[in-house]
Amino acid sequence: MQRSTRMSAGLLALILGATCWAAPYFQENSKNNNSDQQKQSDKNKNKNSDKDKNKKKNDDSPFGSGKINLLHSSQKSDSASAGFNGLTPNGEVEAKKLKEPLTADDYNKAQRVSFMGVKNSSLKKFIQDGKLNTAPARSATAAPKKG
Amino acid sequence: MYKIKLFFATVLLLLAGVLPASAQFGDIFNGINKGREIHNATQEWTPEQEEAVGRASAAKMIHVFGLYDNPAMTHYVNLVGDTVAQFGTRPLQYHFAILDTEIVNAFAMPGGYVFITRGSLANISNESELAGVLAHEVAHVDGRHLEKIIRDKKLTGIAVQTGAEVGASQAGGIAGFAAGMVDQYAAQAITAALTQNYGPDKERDADKAGTEFAAKAGYDPAGLRNFLAMLAAAASDPANKRVTNMLNGKTHPPLKERVSKLTDLSATYPAGGQVLEKRYQQNVNFQAGSTTASAATPATTTTAKKSTKKPASR
């Protein structure tokens, strides 16, 4: 019994010693993480205050009245933002949209885009019809396989 | 009983050793990873890596603005885009798509993913202008401009966003990149494209190379210049700030400055390039009944009124 108590005490001392040795490293890492988090939170605070400023400005802007001179394309009935998807009233990209996680639909659409292209025969006809020029043929293509 | 005690003692001893050792070796591993990162940052992406980052960036771009689903119009944009892309210096397969937003802009992602907005198409008046805009974006891809910005950021240690901010990773650990890196690079590409300036040198390069690609393809070399001149005039009206804000000064050099340089540049090419206004109007017509729900839906009263006249003289 005495022997086992002595052994346990020895082990405890060993663990304590090891922890003390490692502590500075963990502290340093944790410090870095904390400062990163602080920076991030400061950034968010600044962004929010900018947003508020923009909001105040936009209340007085002519955009609210829909006064705009550039041509518009037709819009979908479900485009509630009058077609300005992803844009703040001040003409800047919505930070919220940038940070949102992507959906499976986004990835599927991107995959669809990756298959977009035209057949050589269609391109040739298009170039001929428009009296445009064809580039000299290339020997090989470096485009990776899609899938 | 003694054996059990001995077993627990050994486990405790091992734990006591591993804990500090991992902290010590962590520094060494970090150093090795940093070295590897610097090495990777100086290497050009392989076609597979470029494609992976491009597709992830495209997904993000689609998430922010939406994809305009009009197969006929998209096919036409691809035909014009591929016509000018033939004259690029890299044998890359390009994919052109339309973003469902009224803002006037176009974006080039790595791997040949080029987006033009519905707002741009509504304000372009002929095929040579579309060719000029797409050729400018092709030149960005051809010159690996966005890739270079990301690799430079990696070298200087400036992280724009972390992979965690991008959201769920579906593209990690592929194409020779470490897990999560594709999404991280895609986030950096999007941030750079939407909120930062490529830098005057890269924009100048893209204007120059783009004009060359369009002219070689047989288009009027002043296409991009004419479109930007219209935008520069429209941008002077504060009412148009929302649609031109991104293009005028923040992500690109001021429009007037670019128009002035493009005027000189296009004058160096022989006149007589194709303008193809009729073909453009036949293929890009938002008011005519279209096969898609988007174009078939009648415009709102305000937009219909505005659509009757362009503000800027050409």
pLDDT in tens, B95-141: 999 999 988 889 999 999 999 999 999 999 999 999 999 999 999 99
pLDDT at A65 over 90: no
Q: What is the pLDDT of residue B28?
A: 56
Q: What is the pLDDT of residue B90?
A: 93
Give the whole-angstrom CA distance, residue B171 versus residue B177: 10
Closest residue to B78, CB basis, from A77, A118, A146: A118
CA distances from A46 to A43, A51, A137, B251 (A): 5, 9, 53, 21
Range of the domain at B142: 47-289
A59 domain residue, yes or no: no
B259 domain residue, yes or no: yes
Put simply, the answer to whether B299 touches A75 (Cβ < 8 Å) is: yes
B212 domain residue, yes or no: yes
A136 domain residue, yes or no: no
Those residues whose C-beta lies under 8 Å from the C-beta of residue B268, and which sit 6 or more positions away, are none
Dihedral of CA B181/B184/B186/B189: which sign? negative
A45 domain residue, yes or no: yes
A76 domain residue, yes or no: no
Put simply, the answer to whether A82 touches B102 (Cβ < 8 Å) is: yes
Range of the domain at A15: 2-54+86-128
B59 domain residue, yes or no: yes
A60 domain residue, yes or no: no
Q: Give A144 or B58, the one with higher predicted confidence.
A: B58
Q: How far is A128 from chain B (nearest CA, A)?
A: 11
Closest residue to A97, CB basis, from B63, B276, B299: B63
pLDDT at B235 over 70: yes
Closest residue to B65, CB basis, from A69, A85, A99: A85
Query: Residue B15, Cα to own-chain centre: how many angstroms?
Result: 50
Q: What is the pLDDT of residue A20?
A: 54
Number of domains chain B contains: 1
A–B: how many Cβ contacts below 8 A? 262
Highest mean pLDDT out of A43-52, A67-76, B104-113? B104-113
Give the whole-angstrom CA distance, residue A125 versus residue B133: 22
Q: Which of A94-108, B103-117, B148-162 has the lowest mean pLDDT?
A: B148-162
B311 domain residue, yes or no: no
Please name the residue ranges forming H helices in chain A: 2-59, 95-99, 104-114, 120-129
Q: Which of B17-26, B179-188, B254-263 has the lowest mean pLDDT?
A: B17-26
Closest residue to A87, CB basis, from B48, B101, B112: B101
Q: Give B49 or B95, the one with higher predicted confidence.
A: B95
Q: Which two tokens stand for residue A47?
A: 């962004």
Q: What is the pLDDT of residue B179?
A: 61
B118 domain residue, yes or no: yes
Q: What is the pLDDT of residue B236?
A: 78
Q: Tens digits of per-residue pLDDT, B60-77?
A: 999 999 999 999 999 999
- Dihedral pair phi/psi, residue B267, rounded to 5°: -70, -15
Residue of B nearest to A3 (CA): B2
The verdict on ipTM greater than 0.95 is: no
Give the whole-angstrom CA distance, residue B230 versus residue B204: 19
Chain B residues close to A63, C-beta within 8 Å = 239, 241-242
Q: How far is A32 from chain B (nearest CA, A)?
A: 14
A20 domain residue, yes or no: yes
B28 domain residue, yes or no: no
Residue A54: band (very low, low, confident or very high) from pLDDT cuts 50, 70, 90: very low
Q: How far is B97 from chain A (nearest CA, A)?
A: 7
A69 domain residue, yes or no: no
A29 domain residue, yes or no: yes
Closest residue to A91, CB basis, from B83, B234, B241: B241
Q: How far is B95 from chain A (nearest CA, A)?
A: 5
Closest CA to B181 of B62, B32, B53: B53
pLDDT at B163 over 70: no
Number of domains chain A contains: 1
B32 domain residue, yes or no: no
Q: What is the pLDDT of residue B256?
A: 85
B25 domain residue, yes or no: no
Closest CA to A134 of A145, A123, A147: A123
Chain A residues close to B286, C-beta within 8 Å = 72-74
Closest CA to A130 of B126, B49, B249: B126
Residue B161: band (very low, low, confident or very high) from pLDDT cuts 50, 70, 90: very low
